[in-house]
Structure 1
Amino acid sequence: MKIFLTLFNVITLVSATIVTDADWKAYKVKHSIIFFLFRKYYVFLKDKYRKNYSLAEEEKSKVNYANNKIHINLHNIRANNGLVSYRLEENQYSDMSKTEFFEMLGGKNYSDTTPPPQRKETPVVLKKLSDPFLSYRNWTRDGAGYGVLDQGRKCNAAWAFSALSAIEAHYFQVAEDPMLPKQLSVQNLIDCAGGAKACNGLQIPETAYDYIEFQGNINTGENYKYTGVQSFCKYDPNDVGLAIGGFQTIDENMDGALLQIVAYETPVVVGFNPFSFEFMHYKSGIFVPPQNKIDIYHKYYMTVIGYGSDNGQDYWILKNSMSNSWGEFGYMRMIRSKEYPITKFASFANV
């Protein structure tokens, strides 16, 4: 019986991963569509994110797509048999090889030894709580913050997206004016604060906090639109977003402190290791980080916006900046356990 099931799975896998011209055309059409929910904050150049290829690129991309489909289907067979807790799916990155995806996020290779950035530590001081923790928290579902945006392929600006996502969500809770906060400008940070490291995976969220505190302001996304590439600084002091009062950091692997802060105070930015095929194609379920040859957490950042439990398995909720076609509408649930600490390069602004 076991041999039959294995043979059946192989036959299913082969038949499911034959990429026809119609499949390839459908993929290109589907993923040429830019995330339009927040289109007024973007000024993408014509065809910047469309699947338009040269002849040589087309062949290579189609091969990548076919290879990725095989591995996606292999993984999902394991998920169907209860061997893994999350599923994968093709997305806007499925025409890339794993190496190309890594390089897009600033990873050089499996032996990347780029040292982590120097951080200005401002350790968090936890409040003494009398109330028990909430069993579930989701800042987004509570109406705090905006939806998931798309950083595109030209600029790894996760440091800026994650920092502003946390600030916006927190400000929703403390602002007396129901019209605040306006969506804040990621492009403002890239152009005016990012420097030479703005798009290459070497910039950090603390740079965003320092810039906003120093300026006493950050422009709004509606007036300083996202382009997906770095340009010269066009900061407008008359375009008022908001101000912050510095930031705080959480010591590495202190997930208990992270839980308390997310439960009662604010979403928190964390460094995350994105250098895996599974992260590249994550679709749904509770993600368990695979063993990875690249153990780097300071080149990519996401925002922890909540936590919960599903069938006895605790998880974190993370907000990404890869559009709502990645993951669970742009979010990821990741296992929450002492074996997989998530508090790496963690920080949040004082709003």
Structure 2
Amino acid sequence: MNVVEEMILRQAIELSAVIGDHSETLRNLTVSFIKSEFRMELPHNEISSALEREAIARLFFACGKSRPEEIRNPQNCLRLARDLWLDYSIATSNQLSADLFMKEAEERFRKEKDLNPTLEMKQSPVSGMIKKLFSNPGAAQEYKTLLQKTVQYFQVAFYVLDEYFTNTTIKPLFELYNPFLLSDEKHSTIKNETSAETIDDNSKSRIKYLEKSIHDLKIKLEYAQKDAIRYIAITLTSSGFGSPLFELNSIKKDKTTPEHISSAISNLFLALESLDIRISKDSLVGKTMTFDEIEEGKFCLQNDDILGTSDFVTVKYPGVKLGKEMIVKPTITKEKNYD
């Protein structure tokens, strides 16, 4: 992976760990986040390796919201705040300059060391990321463009982190990296006004967090419903049950079928269409094709027969679509004794 992909993967893991829904694994949340927000699919082995390295993200995902008292050293979780502060700064900055971000990072780290003199590190922990990102021509701009697609999640993430750090002794250290807090200078001049604004901001962040949770649940419900409908359609067309849906389709088309039976079957198919299940390629049924006419991947060969170049096949059943997706391919049968 290149540096941008590495940074995107790290950001996806950390954001998912902070605001992700615990009905999914951190891995699944990360994969879904990258796919939905960036339209990217990264190698599974790279994702596994990154998750192994991101021990703090895994710890926060496991305990940060449900069992925060089990995180014995909250200081470690500051890494999430530092990293996400840098991401948000890059996404919203009007100027992409390594010197600018190094200066901002070191200034915050200096204040962090003032508050915590026992800190042994001599340089900001995010300085390595800044150097790596800006050492690759064009990488910073590419990373910023991708980050801007997720900028709506940062206030939610910092709201969750604020909830966690409020119950720790290192809340002031976290606040150095919270981009949604007013600076000390502004705070001293408009103290009365900001108290109300802070409450309002916290309420907005809470609402966004809940909206994100609701959005995630809706998406999962939609996927669950679609999976259930897909399972029903595949079961109704399974040869193990005699392909009842296809047989009913044949009965409906048969001119000798009594009208009341044909009408009942038609109503069944209308009901299935309301679930977005539709018969597809029905016009191919009964068609005989040579080996060369069979499009690769477009048909399902019944009985797992093996076709030779001189064989002929007949289309026995149509296909089935769920929405625009062909979930059951048209079934073809090998003609055993074709002259």
Larger Rg: 2
Normalising to structure 1: TM-score of the pair?
0.23
The structure where strand makes up a greater share of residues is 1
Normalising to structure 2: TM-score of the pair?
0.23
The structure where helix makes up a greater share of residues is 2
Taking CA–CA contacts closer than 8 Å with sequence separation of 6 or more, which of the two structures ends up with the larger relative contact order? 1
